[in-house]
Structure 1
Amino acid sequence: MKYTIILLAVAASILSFKGDHSERVDIHTVMQIKNEGFNNSKVLGTLFELTDVNGPRLTGSAGMKSAEVWAKNKLTEWGLANAAIEPWGGFGKGWEINKNYVAMTAPYYQALIACPKAWTPGTNGLVSGNAVLVKIDSVQDMAKYAGQLRGKIVVMGGMSTEVKPNFTADAKRYTDEELSKMLDWHNEESATNLSQKPKASAPAGRPGGNLRKMVDSFLYAEGATAVLSGGRGTMGTLFTSNGASRAWDAKPVLPEMEMGSEHLARLIRLLEVNKEVKIEMDTRTTFQTVDSIENNVIAEIPGTDKKLKSELVIIGAHMDSWHASTGTTDNATGVVVMMEAMRILKAIDIKPRRTIRIVLWSGEEQGLLGSRAYVKNHFADRLTMELKDDHKKVSAYYNLDNGAGKIRGIHLQSNDEVRNIFESWMEPFKDLGVTTATIRTTGSTDHISFDEVGIPGFQFIQDPLEYGSRTHHTNMDSYDRINGNDLMQASIIVASFVYNTAMRDEMIPRKSLPVIKK
């Protein structure tokens, strides 16, 4: 169903307004943005190309390289200027999956839901062996397994074998009450944290930190064949990440598969009562043979104001993903929303006073690597706060990276001077659910790379949907988990914020520069 915009014939004098706040909003352009974003949207087709057609985009993989070329070509096709793939530096070993199979063959046959952990080797063909349960909670625990693991497939224990029914819905939208709590700086139960990325934790049954590295080395030295671990997800969902270092001098580890809870729990229950369990598996993974130089993708709508065109409004999202699915909600949705915002502005032929730039990042999942390198190369060094000339030219950076939900507001990132500005810009979109400008900060994604060097960097508040429960870093992060209307709405909000930032007489107010402690 199309969202129909009726453009009324109105006098030019009322095509903009000042609401309860001091910021002027161009309603005519807002209506153009809404019309293009709802009635001529390309966001679903763009998302399909990036996810289903291109596939997973782990940084350093062929899939990521392919996506970079695709994005550059798509932005060029839409008429954006200066589209480029810009290298930012060495990354280490690239890695990708070529084959993935594991099954239990005794006491009966059962195909198992599992995925290789990133940067772990493959089995180099079909292997089979008896499973053995290993529970290691301390260095001392390793001694009891010495000499017993050669040729065995290790099942990492330590997790509960009970998977309880879930009486809470996987998906949710923010209620008015939750959004209201975000406005309270002192509210300890603020819903703000719900809009942040879920925090990574060691999967059940796996020791964390330095102990994990010691366990990996021990299992390898003992001659085990492979490792089965994990257990965070339920009902066919498994969460995955890296299982080894991408560094060229990384210590060798065994092939390791991360599994869903129910299948791993079944193996553990059988082994705990001394039933013979046999496993067969065939995984193939490829490592880059040369150091992987990684890139960001850039394109622009050039500014037209003689005095302001050298200033920048930047939007971005990270294009890299994990490997168990197509990385749709983390973060193909953010990428295509930002791309669609640029397409909308180009389609309605705006003439921005400032230059509008989109940058699609790589290496976010490994620690904001692409955006931090970009900021260091162009604007400032976060470690020394040595500023480059262009640091003063960036009005604001806007980021999207919290799933597929529609935008409900924005984090002010402790910059209260922008409150009235942003609240004025949100006024025409209250009917689309955009109501909240919270002073609270949010982290864990690429706006931090700008904020930490004193450039205004902002992340939008999005409805969580199934992000934390079902899609973030899982094998279920696919095209099927999105809502097209939400993505259209988000594209329109971003396009409006970008347009308003590009057209203001003044730049967005800045916080004080961070102080580096020596």
Structure 2
Amino acid sequence: MSSTTTRARRSLAIALAVLTAGFVLPPVAGQSQEPVDLQAIYRIKDEGFQRSKVMEITSYLTDVYGPRLTGSPNIRAAGEWAVKQMQSWGLVNTTLEPWGPFGRGWTNDRFVAHMIAPTVAPLIGYPKAWTPGTKGPVRAEAVLVTLNTDRDLDNLRGTLKGKFILTAPARAVAAHFDPEGHRYTDQELADRARQPIGPPQGRGGGPGRGGAGDAGFPARRTAFLVSEGVAATLEPGRGDGGTVFVQGGGSRNASDPPTVPQIVMAVEHYNRLVRILDKKMPVTLELDVKNTFHDADLNAFTLVSEIPGADKAGELVMIGAHFDSWHGGTGATDNAAGSAVMMEAMRILKATGLRLRRTVRIGLWTGEEQGILGSRAYVTRHFADRQTMEPKPAHATLSGYFNVDNGTGAIRGVYLQGNEAVTPIFDAWMAPFENLKMSTLTIRNTGGTDHLSYDAVGLPGFQFIQDPVEYDSRTHHSSMDVYDRIQAADMMQNAVIVASFVYHAANRDQLLPRKPMPRPPARPGTQAR
């Protein structure tokens, strides 16, 4: 008998002995002691890859309901649709939970712009959010002016009434020799996984004595433009090739000082106007901009829904994404993509019928684009106030929160936010997805989105690492943030990965480990300890 046959029989005998002793070895990925349920992952993949609804969800949020500024009728309608969808999947406790006040809503209902002289040409542009319209078509002279100092304002006083004001010189437009889209290379992921070491960052602050800048000047310039009665201001947008990046320009508070219509233009069209003016030739424009402020309800909402847990139903795992967007496009990569992935992850978990020991709750946030306002309000109400760091009872029940808000790109790993103790756990949970190129954990923090609301009060909050694709180069806050820029295969993959992470977080014996509770911020006039 060969030694190979002997080893095979010995292995079979050991396996039979284990089974007859009544033990079942959990399927484990790699060498980690953290159990990974491969049968559950099979069912999650089967549902998420074979019967995906993620692109259908994305199309409704973007194509049907369009841009979703917080406080607008669009976002309210999208939220009500999402409530009905999740109820139809069998989720419970589904509601639009109010928070606020946020302030006025705003929509752009009409924008038409043309150069009338010296020749006729349509112009591409977008009004800044929370700015007024033109109160009908306005035809007027365009002038290029410098408005950088109080002396500039004094020199121009009484000369700008009824005119369109170009506020910046022409901007050079370079050719695009590099591709717009990008996926992380292995080296880039390795660099991202490396912990940065450096001196602590100093405190931020405004300009000191002798520093450049005058914090009060923008308000004085706006007041000047209002008093002059200008028709509108025009400025070149960041981006080119038809992509225009546009955000806000006015206030959500109706009692704040007024502003003037503000238009961000495609740089190529703006530059053409400047070049004609540089030739000392008059330019006449016609704009018709209708913007509407919505004051009926100054509160915003968080969309919440749940899958009830079993023996640990009093404990929670949360997932979320921000539901709101800017208005230049339809808010596809920022952040219908994240919202659709999280909705689809909930649908997958419900459709598979997998047992969840803990309750799983989704939160879709509004007010993120104005400063992570919705998730911060939710965490303050339900878990802890970051000003006092006094936890509410639910603080002890939350295992963790997972967030998606980096566009359409495939998930490649997780930002750990400095939480060293979760490393072996997430390593095990990632192992079944190495064939989808998810393999990177980085101890680094990442900012700018809603997991920070949880992390700020000592709760485990995580954002996934995603391939950038065209997020920073083309779609983020731009007119090209539309459904067509969404990558379907990445979205399906992301929903499956999120569903798997949530399943394992909901079913492990212990809550996810936490970092120490942060200290409350120092009160004004006191010194932080």
Report the TM-score when normalising by structure 2. Answer: 0.90
Alpha carbon RMSD of aligned pairs, Å?
1.5
Is this contact kept in 2: 1:312–1:393, CA < 8 A?
yes
User: What CA distance in whole angstroms lies between the structure 2 residues aligned with 1:433 and 1:181?
Assistant: 16
Structure 1 residue corresponding to 2:234, chosen from 222, 228, 232: 228
Aligned with residue 373 of structure 1, among 374, 377, 384: 377
Q: How does 1:176-187 map to 2 (within 5 A)?
A: 176-186=186-196
Q: How does 1:73-222 map to 2 (within 5 A)?
A: 73-158=84-169, 160-186=170-196, 210-222=216-228
Between the aligned partners of 1:86 and 1:346, the Cα distance in structure 2 is 22
Counterpart of 2:487 in structure 1 is: 483
The answer as to 2:60 corresponding to 1:49 is: yes
Report how far residue 167 of structure 1 moved.
1.4
Alignment partner, residue 468 of structure 2: 464
Matches within 5 A, 1:234-383: 234-305=240-311, 308-383=312-387
What is the deviation of 1:291? 4.4
Find the aligned partners of 2:286 and 2:475 in 1 and give their Cα distance. Answer: 28
Conservation of the 8 A alpha-carbon contact between 1:362 and 1:369: yes
Match of 2:36, SS state, is: strand
Letter in 1 for 2:486: I
TM-superposed CA distance for 1:209, in Å, is 5.7
Shift of 1:43: 0.7
| Equivalent AA in structure 1 for residue 337 of structure 2 | T
What is the CA–CA distance in structure 2 between the aligned matches of 1:102 and 1:300, rounded to whole Å? Answer: 46
More displaced 10-residue stretch of structure 1: 374-383 or 14-23: 14-23
Counterpart contact for 2:168–2:236, Cα < 8 Å: no
**1:355 partner amino acid:** T
CA distance in structure 2 between the partners assigned to 1:454 and 1:150 by the alignment: 54
Q: 1:501 aligns to what?
A: 505
Q: Helix, strand or coil for the counterpart of 2:49?
A: helix
Deviations 1:172-191 (A, max 9, x none): 00000000001111278xxx
Provide the rounded CA distance (Å) in 2 between the counterparts of 1:240 and 1:314: 31
CA 1:258/1:208 → structure 2, altered by over 3 Å: closer, same or farther?
farther
How far the C-alpha of 1:15 sits from its partner, in A, is 6.1
Contact kept? 1:382, 1:452, Cα under 8 Å:
yes
Letter in 1 for 2:261: P
Q: Helix, strand or coil: the match of 2:115?
A: strand
CA contact (8 A) 1:399 1:458 kept: yes
Partners of 1:208 and 1:503 in 2: CA distance: 55
Query: Which runs of no fewer than 5 residues in structure 1 stay unpaired?
Result: 1-10, 189-206
What is the aligned-residue identity percentage? 48
- Name the CA distance, whole Å, in 2 between partners of 1:88 and 1:122: 28
Partner Cα separation in structure 2 for residue 37 and residue 187 of structure 1: 40
Paired position in structure 2 for 1:435: 439
What are the superposed Cα offsets for residues 179-216 of structure 1, whole Å, 9 maximum, x if unpaired?
0001111278xxxxxxxxxxxxxxxxxx9964332222
TM-score, scaled relative to structure 1:
0.92
Aligned to 1:474, the other structure's residue is in SS state coil
Distance between the aligned counterparts of 1:223 and 1:49, measured in 2?
A: 41
Q: Is the 8 A contact 1:181 1:187 kept in 2?
A: no
Aligned length in residues: 487
User: Conserved in 1, the CA contact under 8 Å of 2:141 and 2:283?
Assistant: yes
Q: Which residue of the partner structure matches residue 3 of structure 1?
A: none
SS in structure 1 of the partner of residue 390 of structure 2:
coil
Counterpart amino acid of 2:489? N
Deviations, residues 214-241 of structure 1 (Å, cap 9, x unaligned): 2221111111111111321200011111
Runs of 5+ unmatched residues, structure 2: 1-18, 199-212, 524-529
Structure 1 segments (4+ residues) deviating >6 Å: none
In 1, the alpha carbon distance for the partners of 2:280 and 2:440 equals 57
